[in-house]
Structure 1
């Protein structure tokens, strides 16, 4: 555009066209208009252009209205304006007399959309009444300024045209367009000169805000406005209604304010956390439980406690008692308790008295120098403490993946407690599952966790999964998943490869499994926010709180080089301690870990039975777990430190020799509660005794211990355990060689040969190139001031020996070092906070620069005053990697970047490099196998290289953009949103007279389902159930989409949708009949047909049968219990009195049955459209 006069003499020189061109110019963000008068006809001429402008991010319109003396004089001569205030009454009068034209309604709609009472309104209106001397003054000026300074643009229009219909195109006007950016936008003072912006801002600052008065007293009282506000809903508003149905509780401000009030001082009030609480509460009420899976570092503990606080603060008349159980791993329980203390500190109503804690148990260390905190192989499958028999109303499980195995005693104990609570109170407790990585769960793992709150497996609330039959859904999904992860193998008969699925097809089908889980299960019960979500949709909230999410830089590989001999030894070692299945077929030279498998080789089944695991685990399963723990330990030690690995081999050789010595002495101890290896270490005991003897100086000294002395000590300890009643099932016992199968000793000696040979090879090696590289990198790399801006460093290692060696090296470089293991974690907790926790409210200290720790600090602690982290050895799985990084990449981090370093082995020659890489890839594959990740890697690069920043930040959650869109609409259109929220009818709206139809259908006691009906040209319909994500994506439309009359066949389409909905539930096949269900039904039928049963009991039995037919696991269990109890009362089974039967039925199933509705109800259309 060029400088020119604008006089309305032609279309090209019209004021209207000039304003349109300026509004459409790229880069314009602020429009300033000063006008003596303003009317709706003038706004209507530019309504579409202004709407397009205001839809852009960061745009706004500032409108300054004055008192044009000529307009004022002409109006007051008209009787209808006499004695009125200017300009409010004048504009109100004009609005009241406007003809109901579409263009005027469009202008009113624009004002309702973008002119609000808050400071963030995109249209801001002010009235100029007085000058800087506070004297009344006319504003006769007309000025239009378009500010695009960031894009190097600026336009100014000055002249005679008011912002009115006549001023823009009716009158003969004269205005001047200035395109010089400096003349228009410069704010620098220039003597005897004013720019357009300087003049406008001067007047703007003297004026009075008018948005609130204009909206309440002028605009909303006009008949045309009421007509606009009451006009039929649009297709876009139908889409908003759909969002409101699904996500309404998230944008409920009153609920958010209540939840926010629970937060204590010292905890950030973060909008995304409040919304997560609201969403979890909604899911909990709908499904009986929820899964919260925000990524590490976003505050799951805070969200969990807010949910608990809400549950305890707002009692519901639902039979659930106000008691809460929180289940955590031992390492993070203190974090929960500490945060609860913060919530209770200044609160009138404390929550701690209503909360019980229990931890998940762990096996004690089988070998010295290890903290088994980082993998699940060390889980006992039992609770660390006694699970109390209380009627909890809410159970929250942190790290819920520990309940992925339904065969463990821990799972069965919790499942039994939930069942009992349901029977005692008539309703099951709410279950909250907290897990950072649900996507890494196998389908069966996910199923077992969900079963904790979805108690009717064949008639669950997850209706998109086979109509609620999640038993069948997961059976199908698991069958497909197991097939896809199965490795190709040769057919025993033909030798042909079977299960050889092409990698592309394997990936595609695995993606389909993931999609089914997401659409049918997780989309209904999972609340998950990633850092990407928070940065995208909560940017203003994060900035307002002054918070920063650091960017991840890395992984940065620190290379260490092995020579040819060491590279070969490294490769051979992996084959011996952790061979692949293929290697097991090629050689016998690999460890079986028989030292830990003696219980597999009992000759007498009675001895085997003593060591059978809980949850029907065989001695083979128990022995395999013990052997796997030792194998994991060796692999970790090899990765951690060659010195530490050599020591571990020496220990394993000693432990195996102990077993051989016991065998040769015909005295074999199997004692789970006694450290037999420590007891038999008479050499170490003698060395300690010699030191004591030297200190005694002449006093009576003890003689040296022998093997036989140690044996006697073990016998005494077994006796003591037995006398104290702590020798459970006689597991701690002494055996003879004859009690074992003969082949055991031969296999044990073969293991000893392999261990000894491997140890001898490592003992000859004096190199540890990784440790040497570490010492070289401490100052120039890990404490590089360009990257380590915090001056602090966090180092993780698996082995305690390695941690201590690293500490000595770091101290030698002059850095203050804090070493943390499981032994001193609790004792040093306050020191850690003072020196490394950026959220610590006390006085920060700098007593330590470096913290070196085992996995004991990988969760439940803040270390985010540091911004550099070194994984000295490979994290056990991706979850553990995320948890490690999450210690420094957390809410409250001060540094903009977090640098992650890993060690990577290499070698001198090309052949050796390939050998080392192959061994290291195998080592990482071993991690994947035992680490719990279900991702499948087919290529070396998938394991060796990954986008760490993307893994930490997480991809955008698929539903988050819809929540954001709903919030934006509510904030922009509060009045219209209120009407959408309240309206139950009027939600069948067409956008076209033919095309694809979409319906949401709901029956009173079944889930909403989405139905899509595609219409073919020949008139046939293809109706199908679709997922929520598909519906949201396909129903989304533009804001200006127009509605059209419903097509003639609309009722036919609606009937088809209802028929499809009903058929979806009808076609769900009957649950497969299992033995337990059959037995339960037999009990029900026999009871029902027995003469002494009362009418009330018969009614209970009828409902119990319906529930058993639907697969209710709890009803089936209860009926089997009843059958057993009745058999014990009378050997003739049912030949007992009516009172006995009635009492048992009421006690066992009365409350369960009373709480279940058995009919679906009549389905109706919730909303529908065609487009």
Structure 2
């Protein structure tokens, strides 16, 4: 190869080497380049520094822009009448793209850009922009006097393909020619002619000042104070929250439909629209009473797409009149191409989804779909696939990490997450759920009397908490809180949640919502049992249906009798044992809770349980077999309470006689290792139910119910003293409402409205006209009392009532909050004060103090019987009867704490008021600015962005050199400072740590159970490819797609994965047929090419650092 060719080949010379050599022997340089990329500056920086008398004329031929995160050149033909000032401004914009490129976020550039500014200030560097676009690359070297005399020439030049970039100078192969012996004068003339016509960038003093100011204050090397950095972090957070959308004039729409405008709702709409664009969905999680349905309707209108709503059947409303429920919202907001469906028919929707052209899915009370391993969740997952998803839930945080992940999975692709820095959200939540389960074991068993359980808790404690024994439960609680904070931080990019405290304290919202009603502390109301009734009451709770009580629940746990249990059960055996044990506990607790609710409800349950047991016994006597419905066990926790017993009756009456091996587990009693004990225990339970029936009748607890008598007396008193105040009585059970109905009709006549779980058109009309203060139709006053199950505790406005009566003991504070939320509505205050009444059993003849003591003791017995079903106490609290009573009777108003967004909105408003000049300055700053300040210990704090999501990270040094993702509020605490906080130099370790944190990629492993299930599914899929390949099976491509999903995307629900992997695929025809049926089902519901859409919308999002703030330990700096 000729010696004057420069290709950057490793075996040949590089352009970087030749430029530096020629710079060192020249007194003037003239460079014509497409654009002056600063990545090349560092390669010639030292040579220029060593020649202080040298001048460089830089002629730039093109503009640059940022395209998809990359800097590219482009030719912009100047307007004929454009002025040189306009051309200068265009150059500044282009310079901003070049200097603020992430490639320039290096120590070299940060340190060397100052020399660039110095050369401009000293007139050593002149820059001009060519009159017309020019893509030439020409490097002219006017040799110094010694070299010119020595070489016998004035200069030489290089031309070719290389731009003045790191890539062009040495990182990639190019083709350039160094020319010495001819054409130098002509090349200089060509350059000079272009130079004369070009737009000066640095020569005019005013432009030079603007350029230098631009570099110093509007690029990533800008010098900013710690206080300015603090303000920038706050502003960045709010800018991403407050994205404006103007597709629909919501103000005019709200005025048209006579709904009051609240800024907190319109702000939520704007935030949600951005979340949906970025993440494909969002969760509206405002507390009860803040109008989640209105917000969702506004979002739907703003999106201007077709959609469906899936909600509890009681919230659907009247599809014909469209004057209630969701149908009313659709009518009001002009969503005429939307449909409303009951979640009770979710499987039917999924079965008929093919060909429907809706684009948006709103799921009301979305927390119902928290279990991935159910048919309902699987159906919803298939419905939501490829759609925009809006989930409504006031209680998204009251669940395990697995439950929350299930909701996220309805619109986030877990293997390509948009809400976490790392892509693998599935692995992250698997780790969180594993830790959650481990901590739960500690809480449950740390002070157990069972040595084995206690030792298990201690082993986990020393591993997870990393502390020596004995167990400090406060440290376990602190770790649990950190886990909770981690989850809230992870899901924050897709969650909108405000409570009443937020609205009261927000500088804008507080002026709009007006004064809210005051919820008074609950009033205790006692009903009185005689001695015999009292004894029976205590026996039911602490003897018959207590844990390890008389009731054996044999028919719910046949697996325990089939085998002699040991620690060596395989995974399937463990799953069976735990499921059936949980089913028994669940049924036992139902009986306790229904007994506490009402004697009428309890009598109905005993009747049903007895009937089921008799049918089971008869079936065993006739066939020698027993059948347990696996699908019933899987769905037990997701059934409505009233549905559980109905399903049991249906199962006993019909399903026992049908052979449905796909869903049913068939047990041959003759093979049971504890056969006689199983039969005896069934007989024992039958005898128990019959004895209870007799005792209820003898004590006349249903016929002359003392609790019912007391409630009627109390309501009569309320109606006399508060005649204008309507009353709502809530019970968890429809049977309790039916039990009360007859007597209430007798005492209060037509003043009583009954809701027994089914919201008919007539009932919906009466609820609106008589109990909804916001109803726009004709209001009536026919009813004073509403008896209802918890069907009405969600989604209804009932704020013309001013009293809530909890007829059952309110074990679940969230449920009480939901009940009170029906009458405590934002923007429609009716009463200054709202009343709550709680009912408790006591003993005849006791005074008020003694009555409270007796009631507390009975509540404590029930609490112990219910176990985890009534989790009232924190783990570090000592359970006592008195403490239980205090907790249950505490005010249920859900205030919580002020959310981060509210604190930051108020903080930023204050900063704007006090420091408008700083807000103006930071508004001009690009990403990746840096500063340093003093702090008690060293920390490097980074705010990063991925798409529209922000992430705060911190890194210490030496023994604290661990990269941690922290809450945004924690970041603010670390960087908060006064306006006069001194700016320190970046420390000697800054750049190494900065690069480390930028390159950091956390890795998470799936939990063993998830891996096991997915591995089994993938193994079956792989095996099916081998088996079916020779049969020319048409679904081979779909099977390969499922494998790809399992490996990279993790979108399948646990239920769908279990379809594939629950049973090991074998070569026999029955196994293959069953497997192919499941594959066909998935293909029908997922779609033949379901991954195509997922792959198209999960392309990587750029991650960039917004700001770095170094907290320096001053003691160390001056050591």
TM over 0.5: yes
- Aligned-pair CA distance for 1:833: 1.5
Contact 2:729 2:805 (8 Å CA) reproduced: yes
Contact 2:1020 2:1060 (8 Å CA) reproduced: no
**Structure 2: how far apart are the matches of 1:325 and 1:232?**
52
Deviation by residue 1:704-733 (Cα, 9 ceiling, x = unmatched): xxxxxxxxxx99x989x99xxx99779999
Superposition RMSD in Å: 5.6
**Structure 2: how far apart are the matches of 1:345 and 1:1115?**
34
**Structure 1: how far apart are the matches of 2:1060 and 2:822?**
48
For 1:107, the equivalent position in structure 2 comes to none
Contact 1:567 1:916 (8 Å CA) reproduced: no
Deviation by residue 1:500-535 (Cα, 9 ceiling, x = unmatched): 64443443332232233233x233332211111111
For 1:590, the equivalent position in structure 2 comes to 551
- Aligned-pair CA distance for 1:409: 0.9
- Aligned-pair CA distance for 1:283: 3.0
Contact 2:600 2:739 (8 Å CA) reproduced: no
1:635 aligns with 2:592: yes
For 1:805, the equivalent position in structure 2 comes to 740
| Aligned partner of residue 440 in structure 1, secondary structure | coil
1:301 aligns with 2:293: yes
| Aligned partner of residue 567 in structure 1, secondary structure | helix
**Structure 1: how far apart are the matches of 2:262 and 2:286?**
14
For 2:503, the equivalent position in structure 1 comes to 534
**Structure 2: how far apart are the matches of 1:965 and 1:257?**
30
**Structure 2: how far apart are the matches of 1:248 and 1:394?**
26
- Aligned-pair CA distance for 1:996: 4.8
- Aligned-pair CA distance for 1:564: 3.6
Deviation by residue 1:888-908 (Cα, 9 ceiling, x = unmatched): 112213111111010122335
**Structure 1: how far apart are the matches of 2:595 and 2:1017?**
53
**Structure 1: how far apart are the matches of 2:481 and 2:665?**
51
Relative to structure 1, the CA distance from residue 592 to residue 464 in structure 2 (aligned partners, 3 Å threshold; closer, same or farther) is same
Deviation by residue 1:1126-1145 (Cα, 9 ceiling, x = unmatched): 999xx9xxxxxxxxxxxx99
**Structure 1: how far apart are the matches of 2:911 and 2:587?**
58
| Aligned partner of residue 796 in structure 1, secondary structure | strand
**Structure 1: how far apart are the matches of 2:940 and 2:665?**
70
- Aligned-pair CA distance for 1:456: 2.7
For 1:961, the equivalent position in structure 2 comes to 903
Relative to structure 1, the CA distance from residue 1165 to residue 852 in structure 2 (aligned partners, 3 Å threshold; closer, same or farther) is closer
Relative to structure 1, the CA distance from residue 492 to residue 1168 in structure 2 (aligned partners, 3 Å threshold; closer, same or farther) is closer
- Aligned-pair CA distance for 1:879: 2.6
Contact 1:718 1:732 (8 Å CA) reproduced: no
For 1:578, the equivalent position in structure 2 comes to 545
Contact 2:859 2:884 (8 Å CA) reproduced: no
- Aligned-pair CA distance for 1:784: 6.2
1:1035 aligns with 2:1005: no
Contact 1:401 1:435 (8 Å CA) reproduced: yes
**Structure 2: how far apart are the matches of 1:988 and 1:483?**
45
**Structure 2: how far apart are the matches of 1:1100 and 1:1162?**
33
Normalising to structure 2: TM-score of the pair?
0.61
For 2:316, the equivalent position in structure 1 comes to 333
Trace 1:161-180 onto structure 2 (pairs within 5 A). none
1:451 aligns with 2:397: no
Which among 1027, 1046, 1049 is matched to residue 987 of structure 2?
A: 1049
Unaligned runs of 5+ in 1: 1-222, 314-321, 362-380, 422-427, 604-614, 673-713, 1092-1098, 1132-1143
Deviation by residue 1:653-711 (Cα, 9 ceiling, x = unmatched): 45545655677788999899xxxxxxxxxxxxxxxxxxxxxxxxxxxxxxxxxxxxxxx
Deviation by residue 1:989-1024 (Cα, 9 ceiling, x = unmatched): 4455997555435477796543435579x9x97765
Which among 362, 365, 372 is matched to residue 396 of structure 1?
A: 362
For 2:693, the equivalent position in structure 1 comes to 759
Relative to structure 1, the CA distance from residue 1152 to residue 802 in structure 2 (aligned partners, 3 Å threshold; closer, same or farther) is closer
For 1:212, the equivalent position in structure 2 comes to none
Which among 517, 524, 532 is matched to residue 493 of structure 2?
A: 524
Contact 1:559 1:903 (8 Å CA) reproduced: yes
Which among 858, 882, 886 is matched to residue 945 of structure 1?
A: 886
1:1157 aligns with 2:1093: no
1:429 aligns with 2:387: yes
**Residues 933-942 or 407-416, more deviating:** 933-942
**Residues 1078-1087 or 738-747, more deviating:** 1078-1087
- Aligned-pair CA distance for 1:805: 3.2
Contact 1:858 1:880 (8 Å CA) reproduced: yes
1:747 aligns with 2:678: no
1:557 aligns with 2:524: yes
- Aligned-pair CA distance for 1:405: 1.2
Relative to structure 1, the CA distance from residue 926 to residue 846 in structure 2 (aligned partners, 3 Å threshold; closer, same or farther) is farther
**Structure 2: how far apart are the matches of 1:1105 and 1:1057?**
38
Relative to structure 1, the CA distance from residue 807 to residue 866 in structure 2 (aligned partners, 3 Å threshold; closer, same or farther) is farther
- Aligned-pair CA distance for 1:837: 1.0
| Aligned partner of residue 959 in structure 1, secondary structure | helix
Trace 1:657-672 onto structure 2 (pairs within 5 A). 657=614
**Structure 2: how far apart are the matches of 1:576 and 1:636?**
15
**Structure 2: how far apart are the matches of 1:730 and 1:1150?**
32
| Aligned partner of residue 1037 in structure 1, secondary structure | coil
Which among 826, 842, 862 is matched to residue 906 of structure 1?
A: 842
Relative to structure 1, the CA distance from residue 825 to residue 625 in structure 2 (aligned partners, 3 Å threshold; closer, same or farther) is farther
Deviation by residue 1:1084-1132 (Cα, 9 ceiling, x = unmatched): 99999xx9xxxxxxx99999999876564569999x99999x999xx9x
1:284 aligns with 2:276: yes
For 1:769, the equivalent position in structure 2 comes to 706
Deviation by residue 1:158-205 (Cα, 9 ceiling, x = unmatched): xxxxxxxxxxxxxxxxxxxxxxxxxxxxxxxxxxxxxxxxxxxxxxxx
- Aligned-pair CA distance for 1:401: 1.8
Relative to structure 1, the CA distance from residue 391 to residue 771 in structure 2 (aligned partners, 3 Å threshold; closer, same or farther) is same
| Aligned partner of residue 852 in structure 1, secondary structure | strand
Contact 2:741 2:754 (8 Å CA) reproduced: no
- Aligned-pair CA distance for 1:1062: 1.3
Trace 1:356-505 onto structure 2 (pairs within 5 A). 357-360=341-344, 386=351, 388-389=353-354, 390=356, 392-418=358-384, 421=385, 428-457=386-415, 461-463=419-421, 469-488=427-446, 498-499=456-457, 501-505=471-475
**Residues 762-771 or 266-275, more deviating:** 762-771
Deviation by residue 1:885-944 (Cα, 9 ceiling, x = unmatched): 111112213111111010122335799986753442242455673479997675235543
**Structure 2: how far apart are the matches of 1:239 and 1:862?**
43
**Structure 2: how far apart are the matches of 1:622 and 1:298?**
38
For 1:917, the equivalent position in structure 2 comes to 856
For 2:752, the equivalent position in structure 1 comes to 817
Relative to structure 1, the CA distance from residue 1042 to residue 448 in structure 2 (aligned partners, 3 Å threshold; closer, same or farther) is same
- Aligned-pair CA distance for 1:1156: 3.6
**Structure 2: how far apart are the matches of 1:597 and 1:995?**
58
Contact 2:773 2:799 (8 Å CA) reproduced: yes
Contact 1:554 1:949 (8 Å CA) reproduced: yes
Relative to structure 1, the CA distance from residue 1056 to residue 778 in structure 2 (aligned partners, 3 Å threshold; closer, same or farther) is same
**Structure 2: how far apart are the matches of 1:616 and 1:401?**
29
**Structure 2: how far apart are the matches of 1:298 and 1:331?**
19
| Aligned partner of residue 903 in structure 1, secondary structure | strand
Trace 1:31-110 onto structure 2 (pairs within 5 A). none
Unaligned runs of 5+ in 2: 1-209, 459-470, 564-571, 630-649, 1030-1036, 1073-1085, 1113-1119
- Aligned-pair CA distance for 1:783: 3.5
**Structure 1: how far apart are the matches of 2:1015 and 2:709?**
64
1:793 aligns with 2:727: yes
Deviation by residue 1:538-591 (Cα, 9 ceiling, x = unmatched): 6x646546x5421111211112333443322211111345312xxx1xx5x225
**Structure 2: how far apart are the matches of 1:812 and 1:820?**
18
Deviation by residue 1:931-989 (Cα, 9 ceiling, x = unmatched): 79997675235543237446433332233211333355557878875664454258434
Normalising to structure 1: TM-score of the pair?
0.58
| Aligned partner of residue 794 in structure 1, secondary structure | strand
Contact 1:999 1:1011 (8 Å CA) reproduced: yes
**Structure 1: how far apart are the matches of 2:624 and 2:434?**
51
Deviation by residue 1:64-112 (Cα, 9 ceiling, x = unmatched): xxxxxxxxxxxxxxxxxxxxxxxxxxxxxxxxxxxxxxxxxxxxxxxxx
**Structure 1: how far apart are the matches of 2:666 and 2:456?**
48
| Aligned partner of residue 533 in structure 1, secondary structure | helix
Trace 1:150-189 onto structure 2 (pairs within 5 A). none
